[in-house]
Amino acid sequence: MWKRDDNVRPAPPPPAPPTAPVSAAADVAPRAPSYAEKTQVNIGKSVIIKGELSGSEDLTIEGQVEGKIELRQNVLTIGPNGKIKAQILAKTVVVQGEVTGNVTASERVDIRDSGSVDGDITSPRIAIAEGAHFRGSIDMQRAGGAGKPAAEAKAEPRAEPRAEPRTTPPAPGAVVSTAPPTAPIGQPKP
C-alpha cells in the first residue's frame, strides 16, 4: 500500500484579496434608477424609424420618424435635424426641427425659432418663438377640463329676450301674431 510522505505537502492556496462587504439585495437584482437619475435617450441623425415609438424616458430625436410617438409622462425634443411625420403624444414637446402631424401635450408645447409644425396642437400651454413656423389649429384645454369641449365646460342659462310692445304700425304685408304675450321663463304670468 502506498503511504504519503509527510515532507511533501501541497502548497496552501494564496489568500484571497480583501473585498468590500456586499449586501444581499445587490446580489439579487440590479438597482432601479431613482427619479433623480432621469435618463435621456437620443436618436441620431442617421436613424430612420417607421411605425410606433413609445417609452418611459425623455427622448431627443435628431433623425426621422414616421408613424406615432407616445411618451405620455416624458419630454420629447425634436432636434434641429429632426424630421417627424407622426402623431405625437407627450408630457412636453420641444420642437427645433420639422413636425408634420398633430401634437398633443399634457403640459406644454414649445416651438423654437428654428422649429416648424404643420398640424393641430392640443396643450394647456403653448410657446411659439419669433421666426418659428406653425400652420394648424390650437386647442388650449385646461388640465382639469381635458376631453370636454369648450361649450360643454361651462354652460350657463341665458335669459330670454323680453318682447316689447310695438309702438309703430306693422309694415304692409307683415305677419302679425294675435297670440297673447307670454312671460319669460322663470317668471310668473301677470
Of 28 and 189, the structure prediction assigns the larger pLDDT to: 189
Q: Nearest-5° angle of CA 159, CA 179, CA 157? A: 10
Of 170 and 132, the structure prediction assigns the larger pLDDT to: 132
Instruction: Work out the pLDDT band at 115, boundaries 50, 70, 90.
Output: very high
3-state helix, strand, coil in the chain (%, to 5): 5, 35, 60
CB 125, CB 107: distance < 8 Å: yes
Tens-place pLDDT, residues 136-164:
999 997 655 444 444 443 444 444 445 55
CB 116, CB 99: distance < 8 Å: yes
Q: DSSP label at 190?
A: -
Tens-place pLDDT, residues 160-190:
445 555 555 656 665 555 555 555 565 555 5
Distance CA 12, CA 77 (A): 61
For the segment 23-40, the average pLDDT, to the nearest whole number, is 52
CB 112, CB 94: distance < 8 Å: yes
Average pLDDT, the chain: 76
C-alpha cell at 129: 418663438
CA-to-CA separations, 118 to 1, 37, 45, 108, in angstroms, rounded: 95, 34, 21, 17
Instruction: Work out the pLDDT band at 109, boundaries 50, 70, 90.
Output: very high
Tens-place pLDDT, residues 38-74:
678 889 999 999 999 999 999 999 999 999 999 999 9
pLDDT of residue 175: 59
Of 114 and 146, the structure prediction assigns the larger pLDDT to: 114
* Cβ-based neighbour number of residue 95 at 10 Å: 29
For the segment 11-26, the average pLDDT, to the nearest whole number, is 56
